């Protein structure tokens, strides 16, 4: 097979890049290991920056983000049992949209199918070759075990946090940065009405909780847990009392409960690979960097990578100049490190490790008080949460 851009990974980042390239007449192919149904049912975060929404709507992904997404103009930071609402529209004149990441995938996959994009699910990339030359290649097998070889001008690794593409970079050129956390998130989906108009991020002596939403009748909630927690040990009653004690306060706030139909433990880490490119191979999204979920920057950051890389590829294929491609890694990494800082900051301010040093736990409350009692503090959080301007 011969193409211009060979994209390894058909999650939201790989599909968005493929969609933009095709719209510019740049031939590409997407190879994805999982099947469509598995990705559609993988529940991830649900907050889209306005810029991420624009990338979908301006490029003609006829998704349901505008009709089914919910615009949110703020969040509630809850600590010491008290609510502290932040109004993003008033603070920084921006909003975000709550629209689940698996729905973004469904919409993008539908747009690629509609436009006859070459997207192959259930295919495993086994080898990546010659990325240091101008004729890189990779090999993959389809579900029947048939072997294919793809000859491309450029290869893109969009294959997620356990990226195969990333592992092909030689030790001599790469540097990895990481943080591990002594906790994870227990995520649930429940059939219940909304408990509050805005998302609640709660710091409590029992640990963090996030009260999010999916629709009028389905809600998404998370609570900080041990990374080795077994979801089968958690009955519905136990989950509700754990969540409720983390949002409880003198105002008597209680969650609206209902049947729980999905339970998962989500791992936590911060990771950056530098550089985000090697020869003719470029990494986007989780393949190049992972953030902890607090603040929901993962997909937004992946789309920001896509924008920078798309513009560089567009320039490369129309002018023959590799100047923008050569600058991709440095430019993308600027935003990556801003998002790494924000995600780490939100995580450390809102979570309480099980064996927390009492000083550190009180210090985090001091930080929350500083942020919420100052307009500058609120604006700092609001600007980061709603997303810095794309470069």
Stretch binding ligand DHB (CB under 6 A), from 162-170, 241-249, 287-295, 332-340: 287-295
Told to judge if 297 belongs to the known catalytic residues of this protein, a careful annotator would answer: yes
Least distance from ligand DHB to the Cβ atom of residue 371, Å: 16
Told to judge if 72 belongs to the known catalytic residues of this protein, a careful annotator would answer: yes
Are 18 and 32 in contact, with CB atoms under 8 Å apart? no
Nearby residues of 236 by Cβ (< 8 Å), 6 or more positions away = 257, 259, 260
DSSP structure class, residue 2: B
The token pair at 188 is 């649930």
Catalytic residue among 181, 222, 328, 385, which?
385
Q: How far apart are CA 85 and CA 198, in angstroms?
A: 9
* Binding status of residue 18 toward ligand DHB by CB under 6 A: no
Told to judge if 376 belongs to the known catalytic residues of this protein, a careful annotator would answer: no
- Interface with ligand DHB in residues 296-335 (CB under 6 A): 296
The token pair at 49 is 């920056």
Catalytic residue among 99, 278, 293, 307, which?
293
Q: How far apart are CA 381 and CA 372, in angstroms?
A: 9
Element (H, E) at 370: helix 358-373
The residues with which 313 forms a beta bridge, in sequence order, are none
Stretch binding ligand DHB (CB under 6 A), from 42-50, 160-168, 188-196, 327-335: 42-50
- Interface pick for ligand DHB out of 10, 11, 285, 293 (rule CB under 6 A): 293
Question: In Å, how far are 108, 193, 262 from 7, measured between CA atoms?
Answer: 15, 40, 31
Least distance from ligand DHB to the Cβ atom of residue 96, Å: 9
**Preceding omega of 275 cis (within 30 degrees of 0):** yes
- Interface pick for ligand DHB out of 295, 300, 308, 386 (rule CB under 6 A): 295
* Residue that the structure tokens 């100047």 belong to: 323
Q: How far apart are CA 258 and CA 191, in angstroms?
A: 5
CA dihedral 368, 207, 180, 349 (to 10 degrees): 0
Task: Please identify, using beta-carbon distances, which residue of 46 and 117 lies nearer to ligand DHB.
Answer: 46
Least distance from ligand DHB to the Cβ atom of residue 309, Å: 24
* Binding status of residue 136 toward ligand DHB by CB under 6 A: no
Task: Please identify, using beta-carbon distances, which residue of 11 and 295 lies nearer to ligand DHB.
Answer: 295
Told to judge if 201 belongs to the known catalytic residues of this protein, a careful annotator would answer: yes
Residue window 182-211: x/- pattern of binding to ligand DHB, with contact defined by CB under 6 A: -----------------x----------x-
* Binding status of residue 294 toward ligand DHB by CB under 6 A: yes
Question: In Å, how far are 81, 297, 309 from 387, measured between CA atoms?
Answer: 28, 9, 18
Task: Please identify, using beta-carbon distances, which residue of 47 and 272 lies nearer to ligand DHB.
Answer: 47
* Binding status of residue 212 toward ligand DHB by CB under 6 A: yes
Total interface residues for ligand DHB by CB under 6 A = 11
* Binding status of residue 47 toward ligand DHB by CB under 6 A: yes
Stretch binding ligand DHB (CB under 6 A), from 2-10, 44-52, 82-90, 104-112: 44-52
Catalytic residue among 297, 307, 328, 351, which?
297
- Interface pick for ligand DHB out of 112, 137, 194, 220 (rule CB under 6 A): 220
- Interface pick for ligand DHB out of 6, 9, 10, 46 (rule CB under 6 A): 46
From the number of C-beta atoms within 10 Å of its C-beta (0-12, 13-18, 19+), residue 318 rates as exposed
Taking residue 41's Cβ as centre, other Cβ atoms within 10 Å add up to 9
* Residue that the structure tokens 């932040």 belong to: 86
Given the rule CB under 6 A, which residues bind ligand DHB?
A: 45-47, 199, 210, 212, 220, 293-296
Active-site residues, by number, are 72, 201, 293, 297, 385
């Amino acid at each position: 097979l011969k193409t211009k851009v060979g994209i390894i990974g058909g999650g939201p980042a790989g599909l968005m890049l493929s969609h933009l390239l095709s719209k510019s007449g740049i031939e590409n192919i997407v190879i994805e290991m999982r099947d469509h149904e598995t990705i559609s049912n993988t529940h991830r975060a649900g907050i889209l920056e306005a810029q991420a929404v624009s990338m979908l709507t301006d490029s003609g992904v006829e998704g349901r983000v505008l009709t089914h997404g919910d615009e949110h103009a703020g969040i509630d930071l809850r600590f010491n049992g008290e609510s502290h609402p932040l109004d993003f529209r008033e603070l920084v004149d921006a909003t975000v949209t709550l629209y689940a990441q698996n729905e973004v995938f469904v919409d993008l996959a539908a747009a690629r199918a509609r436009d006859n994009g070459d997207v192959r699910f259930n295919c495993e990339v086994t080898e990546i070759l010659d990325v240091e030359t101008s004729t890189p290649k990779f090999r993959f097998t389809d579900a029947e075990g048939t072997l294919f070889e793809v000859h491309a001008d450029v290869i893109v690794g969009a294959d997620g946090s356990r990226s195969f593409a990333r592992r092909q970079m030689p030790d001599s050129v790469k540097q990895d940065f990481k943080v591990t956390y002594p906790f994870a998130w227990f995520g649930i989906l429940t059939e219940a009405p909304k408990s509050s108009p805005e998302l609640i991020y709660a710091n409590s002596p029992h640990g963090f909780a996030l009260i999010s939403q999916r629709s009028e009748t389905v809600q998404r909630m998370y609570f900080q847990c041990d990374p080795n927690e077994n979801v089968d040990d958690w009955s519905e009653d136990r989950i509700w009392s754990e969540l409720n004690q983390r949002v409880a306060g003198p105002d008597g706030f209680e969650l609206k409960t209902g049947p729980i139909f999905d339970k998962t433990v989500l791992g936590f880490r911060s990771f950056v690979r530098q550089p985000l490119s090697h020869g003719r191979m470029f990494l986007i999204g989780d393949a190049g960097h992972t953030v902890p979920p607090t603040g929901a920057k993962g997909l937004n950051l992946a789309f920001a990578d896509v924008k920078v890389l798309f513009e560089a590829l567009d320039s490369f294929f129309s002018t023959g100049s590799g100047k923008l491609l050569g600058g991709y890694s440095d430019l993308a990494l600027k935003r990556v490190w801003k998002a790494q800082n924000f995600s780490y900051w939100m995580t450390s301010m809102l979570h309480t490790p099980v064996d927390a040093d009492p000083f550190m736990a009180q210090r985090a409350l001091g930080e929350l008080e500083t942020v919420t009692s100052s307009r500058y503090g609120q604006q700092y959080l609001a600007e980061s949460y709603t997303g810095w301007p794309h470069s």
